[in-house]
Structure 1
Amino acid sequence: MTAEPALCAIVPPYVLDRLAEDGHEPAARSLALDAVHRTARLTAAPPRPGSDRLDRVIGDAEHTERLPGRTVRREGQGPVDDQSVNHAYDGLGATYALFADVYGRRSIDDEGLRLDATVHYGVHYDNAFWDGQQMVFGDGDGEVFGDFTACIDVIGHELAHGVTQFTAGLEYRGQPGALNESVSDVFGSLVKQYALRQDAADADWLIGAGLLAPGVQGVALRSMKAPGTAYDDPRLGKDPQPAHLRDYVRTARDNGGVHINSGIPNHAFYLLATALGGPAWERAGRIWYDALTGRRLPSDAGFTAFARATVAAARARYPEPSVADTVTAAWAQVGVSTT
């Protein structure tokens, strides 16, 4: 099952909306550019033919809005003076490594898709996104957000949207959209944990730690360990993510709250990974990956459908019933039934 290319950005739209309403020009400009790309994606060309090895190309938009920009680093070439280029290159490689080494996946599409990225997009662009074909990174405005290439989990998050695009194709609205965002948070966090070789107990479970500029009252964009606690700032507002289904936010904003309600499945994964122990990319990550790529998950799947898929994946992969029981218990703790 393959969905049309989807532009999925790391910064929750309601955050940019709030900043724009307060007269923050970079946020207003970022929202306008997002709208342009959401329209352009409908006529996007098909993905490039792939290869059997990691292949990265980094472009520099040089603060314009032209993609893919001037090529500044290719696969196998050494670091350059521009750290944004190097961070993007390394982040693409770390994401490729998780999916290839742990799950046997040949790049984002499982057919060796070349990983392209463009840095220095626009002026003070407050976001990063996967446009269905490549990664795009802004430099941030320096007041609220810093360089979006600086966080390896942000890069993993966005590329994981590509994995979802080429597998379950979860619709980007309501509960399936929240699952789409959550899956990206899960694998974005696992990219960082795998690169650092951290066990679940040692990970910070934050998405975008270090992305917020000095002076902003917060630690990250989202927390999988404690949804709703990532930031509380006069400009950004308070992190609105719930950790339990009883607090599900019903809203017309943010495609039905896809960046908000993703906190619920995020927390379920955190609970599972820490309950199982050891590296989260092994059993917990494998269960989520199997559920996403098993070709049985409908594109309009809600939380219950996905939870059931993870229980089925656990039973199929691990003969000991305790693993599936732990999956069921993790979902129960966030109010999602698997029966």
Structure 2
Amino acid sequence: MKCDDPVAHGQYRCRCGIVPPHMLEAIIKNGDAEQRIAAAQTLHLTEQMRLERLSLVGEAGPAQAADETAGAAHKSRKIYTAANGTGLPGNLVRSEGQGASGDAEIDEAYNGLGATFDLYNNIFQRNSIDNAGMDLIGTTHYGVKYNNAFWNGSQMVFGDGDGKLFNRFTIAIDVMGHELTHGVTQYTAKLVYSNQSGALNESVSDVFGSMVKQYALGQTSAQADWLIGAGLLAAGVKGVALRSMKAPGTAYDDPVLGKDPQPDHMSKYVNTTSDNGGVHINSGIPNKAFYLTSIALGGNSWDRAGHIWYNTLLDTRLSASAQFQDFANLTVDNANKLYGATVGNAVVQAWQQVGINVAAIVSWQNNKAVLSTYTSPHSMNAWAYIQDNGWRKVQSLTPDGVTNTFALLVDAQSVNARVNVYLDGTTIYQAYSV
């Protein structure tokens, strides 16, 4: 669904639903009278929520600083019911530690929020969404036949579905992991929700949503179905899920819902002004890159691939307006830092298979002296003369990477320091004083 424009203090917070607008618009066009009404009401309620949230300013939490918060993990779930109304959060029906309520939607929400907390805490040592023990709040039974689930900036909201096209929105654990990850992104990278940065925002949510499901089921990358929202589509719908990370564009092909429009390669990138620049559509490209990385590395997706993506999400070099190329570059750099060149090159190959080229790192060389440096006007290009390697062009990892790296090399030269460098013949990928 639509998300807010920037509000105070430059914050960007996604108020977005798991069901993308193109699906709801297809229902309004192709569905029967009852289906059209339900889809239109869903769009209306989500737009109303968006406008209400626009009036709130100064509400987003800190970005990278939150990830350094110390303290023991604190799981605190609170599940409410809206009783088919639209007031939030509604009536509290289950709190942390209480037994099952007997209401499937309430209990599924409780379990799904817990599974998301467990992945982030046990694997990534993150203490809830904000890394400071934030309560996990979910409101069930929102609206009448509401065909969506969303993160509104502070809590989860689940519709019951219309029963004809969509089942209840708590039925898919990865949907909860996906939406709660929008909150994690809100507290870390703050990826702007439009065009490629918005598609990265969506993709990161799919990546961690899928890992939540795989972790809860104890599945390896090879065993997982890599579907987002499996079980959400009602009986009779021609489809298996909302999206497929393994094969973007194949999740559904239905007379009412339309055909899955996701591309799996940059050559098929969809340029559109709808859906905030196609954030739910073009996310298929980085989604497949993560799938390919996980399969190539083997084992569980969270063993190495997940840590590479998580470190990239927290990387201070990842700008809020990052493009696919920027994110790909950083995943490769983080892969090399965490696990070495073999894993780094596997990530390179995964991105290459979806049409994004990140040059493979050939060598890692230690303790080379910086003998001379040169930069062109505006720091658009920079070179360093490295002992035994000659002139090497500095490759930027972010829009200001050339400037930052060049300044560092000049400093290394001025103090007669040595540097560690990644080289691939003519390019420095990273350099720092030792």
TM-score normalized by the length of structure 1: 0.97
Alignment partner of 1:120: what SS?
Answer: strand
Kindly provide the amino acid, as one letter, of the partner of residue 251 in structure 1. T
Runs of 4 or more, structure 1, over 3 Å off, are 1-4, 43-48
1:168 is aligned, of 189, 194, 199, to 189
Deviation at 1:43, TM superposition (A): 3.2
Deviation at 1:47?
7.0
For residues 201-235 of structure 1, the C-alpha deviation after alignment (integer angstroms, 9 at most, x for no partner) is 00000000000010000000000011000000000
Tell me the matched-pair count: 338
One-letter code aligned to 1:237: G
**Kept in 2: contact 1:160–1:184 (CA 8 A):** yes
- CA offsets, 1:83-122, max 9 Å, x none? 1000000000000000000000010111111100000000
Match runs of 1:10-21 below 5 Å: 10-21=18-29
SS at match of 1:256: helix
Task: Say which one has the larger Rg.
Answer: 2
Equivalent of 1:327 in 328, 347, 350: 347
Deviation of 1:21 after TM superposition, in Å, equals: 2.8
What is residue 324 of structure 2 aligned with on the other side?
303
Whether the 8 Å contact between 2:60 and 2:187 is mirrored in structure 1 is no
Select which of 28, 46, 58 maps to 1:34: 46
Tell me by how many angstroms 1:312 deviates: 1.2
What secondary structure, in the 3-state scheme, does the structure 1 residue paired with 2:334 have? Answer: helix
Q: TM-score, normalised by structure 2?
A: 0.76
> Distance in 1 between the 2:109 and 2:263 partners?
31
CA drift of 1:44 comes to 3.8
- Letter paired with 2:27: L
**C-alpha offsets along residues 142-181 of structure 1, whole Å, 9 cap, x if unaligned?**
1111100010000000000001111101111100111110
Q: Percent identity?
A: 56
Give the Cα separation in 2 of the matches to 1:169 and 1:277. Answer: 30
2:13·2:190 contact (CA, 8 Å) conserved in 1? Answer: no
Structure 2 contact 12–192 (Cα < 8 Å) conserved: no
* Structure number with higher relative contact order (C-alpha < 8 Å, ≥ 6 residues apart): 1
* Structure 1 residue 195 displacement after superposition: 0.4
Q: How many Å separate the matches in 1 of 2:159 and 2:152?
A: 13
Question: Is the 2:19–2:148 contact (alpha carbons within 8 Å) kept by the matching residues of 1?
Answer: yes
Gaps of 5+ in 1: none
In the TM superposition, what is the alpha-carbon distance from 1:52 to its structure 2 partner? 4.1
Does the 8 A contact of 1:2 with 1:167 survive in 2? Answer: no
Shift of 1:81: 1.4
By percentage of residues, which structure has more strand?
Answer: 2
Instruction: Give 1:90's match in structure 2, choosing from 106, 111, 116.
Output: 111
Residue pair 1:118, 1:137 contacting (<8 A) in 2 also: yes
Contact 2:262 2:284 in 1 (8 A): yes
Contact 1:3 1:166 in 2 (8 A): no
CA distance in 1 between counterparts of 2:328 and 2:72 reads: 34
Cα distance change of structure 1 residues 4 and 177 upon mapping to structure 2, 3 Å threshold: closer
Q: What is the CA-CA distance between 1:6 and the residue it aligns to?
A: 1.8
- Partner-residue secondary structure (3-state), 1:21: helix
Aligned to 1:3: 11
Counterpart check, 1:150 vs 2:171: yes
CA-atom RMSD in angstroms: 1.7
Q: Corresponding residue for 1:59? A: 80
The 1:137–1:278 alpha-carbon spacing in structure 2 relative to 1, beyond 3 Å, is same
1:315 CA displacement: 1.4
Q: The residue matched to 1:252 in structure 2 has which SS? A: coil
